[in-house]
Amino acid sequence: MRNNKNQKSQWQPATMTIHGGKQPDQHGALVAPLYQTATFAFNTTAEGSARFAGEESGYIYSRLGNPTTNELEARVAQLEGFPAGAACATGMGAVSAAMLAFLQQGDHVVVADAIYGCSFALFSHLFKKFGIEVEFVDMTDAENVRGAMRDNTKMVFIETPANPHLKIIDIAAVAAIAHERQARVIVDNTFMTPLLQQPRKQGADLVIHSATKFLNGHGDVVAGLICGSAEDIEMIKSTTLKDMGATMSPHDAWLILRGLKTLDVRMERHCQNAVKVAEYLVQQPFVRDVYFPGLPDHPAQRLMGTQMHGSGAVIAFELHGDSQDAQRLLDYLELITIAVSLGDAETLIQHPASMTHSPYSAEARARAGISETLIRIAVGLEAADDIINDLAQAFAKTFVIDNTKEQQQGETVSYG
Ligand code: 3LM
């Protein structure tokens, strides 16, 4: 069929985001139709029974499958280079459905030590409750993974670049160690998107996304995706997704399909803006450290061109000062929005210790280096100069004007 776009795997990623995996429509609609329906009518009882028995293909009920969510699954899976995908209600729905489909009581999981706060909570609290042992290791040295592997290790969970510090893990090195023990490697690719990193090429067995972020890109959806082999995705869909039920709504899938079309141009602008903001931050006297894969001295540079094809748009930075300075800096911002999440058109800034990483215990946060003066900025699509000017006026108010006032007050007291 003329508009069956499935065959052209040689297309470049920018073309794939628009045409890859596109299903032909019976009316020739340019845009994938939204099947906003909970259930599907059977022509006869025999047809319905045959679909439930798996003897006949066809839709039954949207938790079990829907043409709009199926289209999104196929398209993201193609971008990631996997044969199949599963759409989930949220990124956390994707993490939990992908992991629990392959785990049972008594299994052991090795997890990177610095990851998104709710993933940390899932592994450190909930998994424990169900008898799954979790070991957190610093995977920036892949040999630490070898030391943690046991006979009952079934999965190795990686987030790279990791939330919030942009720590980088060599996926190929970790996957080689995990596969020696037949453990599945699962990579959270949220910060990169398949345009900047395709973990399957480095040996990942499953890739998950918080599609809430760059994939959708417009801040109006919470959603998740899992990509993997046809067998693994079938296992996830027929167990944890079907029976625990964190599946994606067709409307959210439709919005993400729309967002995907501009992923390539958005990522290009996100990355360009982030480089400019990072270069500005590095020069600020009130900034102690800047963590950003695009900086020349960042460990990510070793994997640029192989594992990574861009630096992304999330920057973390450490202030000189205290938690009050961090709070004041954020409160003085006028253009940049104080909000969690990332990958939106709007530049968002947040305080990991009290926000995204508050599910960590204070001790675990200290171990992971998530200090009170760490700030994370998710650079958006505005003009870079406007983002930088807003930071500049907030830095000036926090560190120059306020500190001068404090000094003057201090002087008044000491000399008064
Ligand atoms: C955040 N992160 O602001 P959802 N994996 C990664 C993530 O960063 C996230 C998820 C999974 C943020 C959300 S904090 C309350 C807001 C690397 C989410 C989970 O379930 O779609 O939120 O994805 O860092």
In the chain, the percentage of residues whose pLDDT exceeds 70 is 94
Q: Report the largest interatomic distance among the alpha carbons of the chain, rounded to a whole angstrom.
A: 93
Question: Is the pLDDT score of 54 beyond 90?
Answer: yes
Would you say residue 416 lies in a domain? no
CA–CA separation, 314 vs 320, rounded Å? 20
Does residue 98 have its Cβ closer than 6 Å to ligand 1? no
Does residue 190 have its Cβ closer than 6 Å to ligand 1? yes
Do 320 and 207 belong together in one domain? no
* Per-residue pLDDT, 408: 64
Query: DSSP of 372-406, one letter per residue?
Result: TTEEEEE--SS-HHHHHHHHHHHHIIIIIIHHHHH
* Per-residue pLDDT, 303: 98
* Per-residue pLDDT, 22: 85
Considering only residues 403 and 114, tell me which one the structure prediction assigns the higher pLDDT: 114
Considering only residues 3 and 384, tell me which one the structure prediction assigns the higher pLDDT: 384
Ligand 1 mean position to 63 CA, how many Å? 23
Per-residue b/e over 338-354, b at no fewer than 16 CB within 10 Å?
eeebbbbeebbbbbbbe
Does residue 192 have its Cβ closer than 6 Å to ligand 1? no
Ligand 1 mean position to 109 CA, how many Å? 20
pLDDT tens per residue across span 210-227 = 999 999 999 999 999 999
Do 210 and 289 belong together in one domain? no
pLDDT (mean) for 381-406:
90
Q: Are the beta carbons of 228 and 84 closer than 8 angstroms?
A: yes
CA–CA separation, 21 vs 26, rounded Å? 16
Catalytic residue set: 63, 116, 188, 213
* Per-residue pLDDT, 23: 84
Would you say residue 414 lies in a domain? no
Task: Report pTM.
Answer: 0.95
Do 182 and 208 belong together in one domain? yes
Do 232 and 268 belong together in one domain? no
Ligand 1 mean position to 340 CA, how many Å? 8
Per-residue b/e over 207-237, b at no fewer than 16 CB within 10 Å?
bbbbbbbbbbbebebbbbbbbbeeebbebbb
* Per-residue pLDDT, 184: 98
Would you say residue 413 lies in a domain? no
Do 295 and 333 belong together in one domain? yes
Predicted confidence band of residue 412 (pLDDT cuts 50, 70, 90): very low
Q: Using CA positions, which residue lies closest to atom 4 of ligand 1?
A: 91
End-to-end CA distance of the chain: 87
SS3 228: strand
Does residue 358 have its Cβ closer than 6 Å to ligand 1? no
pLDDT (mean) for 257-269:
98
* Per-residue pLDDT, 1: 44
Would you say residue 415 lies in a domain? no
pLDDT tens per residue across span 147-200 = 999 999 999 999 999 999 999 999 999 999 999 999 999 999 999 999 999 999
CA–CA separation, 201 vs 204, rounded Å? 7
pLDDT tens per residue across span 266-294 = 999 999 999 999 999 999 999 999 999 99
* Per-residue pLDDT, 114: 87
Return the structure tokens found at 213.
Answer: 């972020």
Ligand 1 mean position to 193 CA, how many Å? 14
* Atom number of ligand 1 nearest to Cα 191: 17
Domain hosting residue 75, numbered range: 5-260
Does residue 252 have its Cβ closer than 6 Å to ligand 1? no
Return the structure tokens found at 378.
Answer: 């998710």
What one-character DSSP code corresponds to residue 22? P
